Amino acid sequence: MVHKNVKIELLVKQLRQESPEFISVVFERPINFIYEAGDWIDVDFVDTSYSGGKTYSLSSSPTENELTLSFREGISPFKKKLQSVQAGDKMYISQYGNDYGFHLNDNRSSVLIAGGIGIAPFRSMLKEMFDMRAKNDVQLVYLNKSEEFLFQDELNEWRRGLPNISIQYIVTKDLKRKAREKLLQSLVRNTAHSYYIAGPSGMVSSTFALLEKSGVTAKDIRVDNFGLY
């Protein structure tokens, strides 16, 4: 469900440099703001003239008291402004929700495939699972160009606390396309799962095609494309 034409005030608590290329903006969670793990929000500044992508998947969990957007540094006017916010700045949610079924099915095992900053919505899902002591089986396949995997310490902690979560970290810098595809196919042998792909558009498209080639039906695949703005 998507909630449109809203104006929910956000107050910046912190701008956090997660790694040399990834940033998180942490907001106070608005009173009575309800959302699901995997949801996105559209955000605006008080000055709405900034251009660029304004849609971000929430990396925070519904079980947390803050709202967090995590993203790759960018060059659009909007992204540059977002990268320079300070504690106390006001922003607004103009739209939020989920219109493509990017939510975990508690009654079915799931495979999550993240490319780089595509880990953001999966952090939300796994944190909620950990806090709720969920028992559904989830496999995370996390691809990143370098060994600096975002949220790795948290992810490892949650994996230790929930034995039904498995995580594979894959550094793609020196992996040729065919080698990466072969490795992915070896990790997702069973097609009787729900599959979720999040990351840059090219990675999402190629992974979707690979899953279909491996026998996964399109109706069992959900995607979250991250724009490079």
221: tokens are: 């695949």
**Rounded CA separation 112/37 (Å):** 13
Q: Which band of pLDDT confidence, cut at 50, 70 and 90, is reported for residue 229? A: low
Contact 179, 95 (CB under 8 A): no
CATH fold of 110-226 reads Rossmann fold (3.40.50)
Residue 139 pLDDT > 70: yes
27 - beta bridge partners?
12, 67
Q: In whole numbers, what is the pLDDT of the chain averaged over residues?
A: 93
Better-predicted residue by pLDDT, 59 or 19: 59
- Would you give the DSSP letter of residue 58? B
pLDDT digits (tens, 9 = 90+) for 176-193: 888 888 888 888 766 668
Confidence of residue 194 (pLDDT cuts 50, 70, 90): very high
What's the sign of the alpha-carbon dihedral 145, 151, 157, 163? negative
**pLDDT for res 208:** 94
Domain coordinates in residue numbering, the chain: 2-97, 110-226
Phi/psi of residue 45, each to 5°?
-85, 170
More confident position, 140 or 215: 140
Mean pLDDT of the region 38-56: 93
CATH no. for 2-97: 2.40.30.10
